[in-house]
Structure 1
């Protein structure tokens, strides 16, 4: 999967707001070139909600293990929920892994190297082996984000 294929797929889900920081838009330079997906049916970035998925194209401070400084390397980060996390990693988010997976391995679903303890999964350069699972996980993350949004909306009525 390419970054554009991922953006097109997630952007096609209902209520998704896709934010692609770029020079001149007031976002931090570090975020330029990356993509953030929110469930925001009104088209406004939620003030308190986190994205349900991101695509990052570079290392961030403290998050260099995936070696995104390699040519043509990016990582999809997905908040697909605890059940999906356990299914893919074999352990709960806050439990230690029985076997370490190389965070730079491509086309492999892994616990996010930094946010795995809160249930995020990641895939570096999704390919043939992980295209269908990546789409499934992105749909699951979208459903969870939509449910959180609806619960918040119900509580304010």
Structure 2
């Protein structure tokens, strides 16, 4: 899968608001070219974190120089702290080779907060990653419905 295919699949989920920062929109330059996915059927950015992101470069708080190679991106997914061991199984504590493509791992910075990541998802981890995105979307939707008092969107 290329970055546009991943972004299109996540953005197509019901009620998803996709933010794609770019020059001139007031967003920080570091975020340009990336994508942030929220469950927001009203089109308003909710308080809190997105349920998934796609990044195309390393951010200042992480060491990921491989992300600066052309065509390289990372899909990040909020699976929740309780699900980390189940999602990653015996690999939960394994530190992957830096930038190993198509390998589902704990997020290099936010793993302790229940985030997983996959660089250039493909044949090995792509479908699993998209399944995890759909689950993260469902959890975000359920949180929104609880916050709104159970109202359907």
Moved more, 118-127 or 66-75: 66-75
Match of 1:51 in 2: 50
Which runs of no fewer than 5 residues in structure 2 stay unpaired?
none
Q: Report the Cα offset of residue 65 of structure 1.
A: 3.2
Residues 16-95 of structure 1: matches in 2 within 5 Å?
A: 16-46=16-46, 48-65=47-64, 67-90=66-89
How large is the Cα RMSD of the aligned pairs?
1.9
> C-alpha separation between the residues in 2 aligned to 1:60 and 1:149?
28
The TM-score, its normalising length taken from structure 2, stands at: 0.90
Local SS of the residue matching 2:24: coil
> Is the contact between residue 56 and residue 74 of structure 1 (CA under 8 Å) also seen in structure 2?
yes
Structure 2 CA distance for partners of 1:153 and 1:103, relative to 1, 3 Å: farther
> C-alpha separation between the residues in 1 aligned to 2:100 and 2:122?
12
Local SS of the residue matching 2:54: strand
Which runs of no fewer than 5 residues in structure 1 stay unpaired?
none
Q: How many residues align?
A: 150
The TM-score, its normalising length taken from structure 1, stands at: 0.88
> Is the contact between residue 81 and residue 112 of structure 2 (CA under 8 Å) also seen in structure 1?
no
